[in-house]
Amino acid sequence: MTGTAPLLRRLAALTTAPGPAPRTAPEVLADRPDGTVVRAGRTVAKAHAPDCDPHDLAARLRIAAHPLLHGILLPPLPVTAPDGFLIRADDGRALTRWPYGTPVSPDDPDAAPWQDAARLLAHLHSVDVGRLSGPVPPMRGPAKAARALTRLRTALAPGTHPAPLSAAADAVERAWSLLPPWSRAAAPPPRTELLCHGDLHLGQLVRHPTTGGPWLLIDVDDLGVGDGAWDLARPAAWFATGLLAPNIWSGFLAAYRAAGGRAVRPAGDPWPDLEVPARALTVQTAALAVAKAAAAVRPLDEIETAVVDACARMTSLPQQLAPAALDVG
């Protein structure tokens, strides 16, 4: 367990409603280095990553609670009166409270709400940043990609792992080296006009209210201004590497454009806008895959091999992620 017993007790206390009403036993939903999440009934409490900047997180929480984000982001619950959304644990970690929402079911991939996600992103990217209170921090997507490479390098000390894993790590490193500095968090991004989620995947959607409610985006840890194409890059990369069916990708892209999404051109080939972020997300995914395989002392599985192979293609054809898969005009 990543969360210590005192931390888990503190999170459980945050989920418990005061008064004589029956209480639901707390349940640990996630316990990872980047976050520990506990649920009881209709409330969730989260301990954010130890290296989370509390000032930036406080700004992100204010944005999630802003009326302009109603119907787009799940709003946080106050933890202090009248509207404080963040407190600190004894170990310094930031703690927040949220309404519980029903997540996407992993058992029914055909029902995955890709088009709902696309519309939510389009609405998020259309928010007038100037109307939000206080400064808006930068989107942290590139920083997460850089951390994935650090994790890879830590996990694979030279000469300590089988040759296939070492070769996979080399392919990831070569692909990383070809990316522009901004996508490696080594320079400011060229576009910073849109409010971005920063880590879009299906695990970042819930229905709220839980019974028949609309889909909403969750997890604001990476929310901020930046290049909105980063939010489309993971499904784009999955399509390009053969992990997402063409009809799902085309439906996602069409829904985003129909809802007025501004991160890609309104018609025609979106790839000039998506190429760099999609390559960066592919490298990030591959780096984490190799690091996890090394930690578990196992070979890469089929999906992990696919993303590493995509990195290898990037080094032979630096301007293309998967040439045969990208005719999506």
* Topology adopted by domain 5-99: Phosphorylase Kinase; domain 1 (3.30.200)
Predicted confidence at residue 317, as pLDDT, reads: 63
> What is the average per-residue pLDDT within 110-134?
95
pLDDT digits (tens, 9 = 90+) for 139-182: 999 999 999 999 999 998 766 678 889 999 999 999 999 999 99
Percentage of residues in the chain having pLDDT higher than 70: 91
Instruction: Choose among 310, 238, 314, 280: nearest CA to 142.
Output: 280
The Cα–Cα gap between 173 and 53 comes to: 28
Provide the pLDDT confidence category of residue 110 given band limits of 50, 70 and 90: confident
**What are the residue ranges spanned by the domains of the chain?**
5-99, 115-325
pLDDT digits (tens, 9 = 90+) for 259-315: 999 999 999 999 999 999 999 999 999 999 999 999 999 999 999 999 999 999 988
Predicted confidence at residue 21, as pLDDT, reads: 53
Predicted confidence at residue 160, as pLDDT, reads: 64
pTM for the full predicted model: 0.92
Position 2 pLDDT exceeds 90 = no
Quick check: 97 and 14 in contact, CB under 8 A?
yes
pLDDT digits (tens, 9 = 90+) for 207-239: 999 888 999 999 999 999 999 999 999 999 999
Position 250 pLDDT exceeds 80 = yes
Peptide bond into 82 cis (omega under 30): yes
Provide the pLDDT confidence category of residue 323 given band limits of 50, 70 and 90: very low
Q: Specify the CATH class of 115-325 in words.
A: alpha beta
Predicted confidence at residue 325, as pLDDT, reads: 40
Pairing of strands 94-99, 87-88: antiparallel
237: left (phi over 0), alpha (psi -120 to 50) or beta: alpha
Predicted confidence at residue 18, as pLDDT, reads: 58
The Cα–Cα gap between 97 and 308 comes to: 37
Q: What is the mean pLDDT of the chain?
A: 90
The beta-carbon contacts of 285-288 under 8 Å, at least 24 apart in sequence, are 285/148, 285/234, 285/237, 286/168, 286/171, 286/172, 286/175, 286/310, 286/311, 287/148, 287/149, 287/151, 287/152, 287/172, 287/176, 288/148, 288/151, 288/152
Pairing of strands 27-32, 35-40: antiparallel
The Cα–Cα gap between 33 and 181 comes to: 27
Position 327 pLDDT exceeds 60 = no
Q: Could you write out the three-class secondary structure of the chain?
A: CCCCHHHHHHHHHHHCCCCCCCCCCCEEEEEECCEEEEEECCEEEEEECCCCCHHHHHHHHHHHHCHHHCCCECCCECCECCCECCEECCCCCEEEEEECCEECCCCCHHHCCHHHHHHHHHHHHCCCHHHCCCCCCECCHHHHHHHHHHHHHHHCCCCCCCHHHHHHHHHHHHHHHCCCHHHHCCCCCCCCCEEECCCCCHHHEEECCCCCCCEEECCCCCCEEECCHHHHHHHHHHHHCCCCCHHHHHHHHHHHHHCCCCCCCCCCCCHHHHHHHHHHHHHHHHHHHHHHHHHHCCCCCHHHHHHHHHHHHHHHCCCCCCHHHCCCC
> What is the average per-residue pLDDT within 28-36?
90
Predicted confidence at residue 290, as pLDDT, reads: 96
> What is the average per-residue pLDDT within 114-139?
96
